[in-house]
Amino acid sequence: MLGERKKANELYDELITHPRIRYASETLFKQGKYRNAILDAYIAIEEMVREKSRDRRSYGVNLMCKVFNEKKPILKWRSVNEEVEKNELKGYKNIIVGALQGIRNPKAHAIFEQRPMRALQLLNLACLLAELIDVSEYVGAN
């Protein structure tokens, strides 16, 4: 495990490039507190969506379903006029919802060990999602 931890720390600096995800996770990750690093990164994702969507009342899955609704999005990174664009938004909405349900929620409600390389993979996904949120534009509340 020590070799895996060292390799994960080296890769962290190369792969985890989004500033909000680094801010939320770097110290915890490098201390070997992988579960907490992942949890804080995905909390940062939720905070980013809440800030950009100007929705301070909704949380978690409900927030993501509302904000990235392909029929009436609050945030979008492309037009959603064509079916392919709606499908892309819906697909990423499902990924974000899945990340909150399957990655963040278990870490918020149970204490367990997380392997360093698996933690790095989950943080890398958080970077991708954070970048999508960064390039999204606010188009108004439903």
pLDDT at 68 over 60: yes
Q: Cα separation of 142 and 135, whole Å?
A: 20
Cβ neighbours of residue 64 under 8 Å, at least 6 residues apart? 49, 93, 96, 97, 100
Helix (H) or strand (E) segment spanning residue 76? strand 75-76
Confidence (pLDDT) at 1: 62
Both tokens assigned to 127: 């970077």
Per-residue tokens: 100: 């909150």
User: CA-CA distance, 131 to 103, in Å (whole number)?
Assistant: 18
Q: Percent of the chain, pLDDT > 70?
A: 98
Instruction: Evaluate if residue 111 carries a pLDDT over 90.
Output: no
Question: Is the distance from CB of 74 to CB of 140 less than 8 angstroms?
Answer: yes
- Tell me the two tokens of residue 133: 């949120």
Per-residue confidence band for 33, with pLDDT thresholds at 50, 70 and 90: very high
Instruction: Count structural domains, the chain.
Output: 1
> And the tokens for 141?
């509340």
The pLDDT score that the predictor gives to residue 83 is: 85
pLDDT exceeds cutoff 90 at 107: no
SS3 for 73?
coil
Tell whether the model's pLDDT for residue 142 goes beyond 60.
no
What's the domain range around 86?
2-138
138 strand-pairing partners: 75
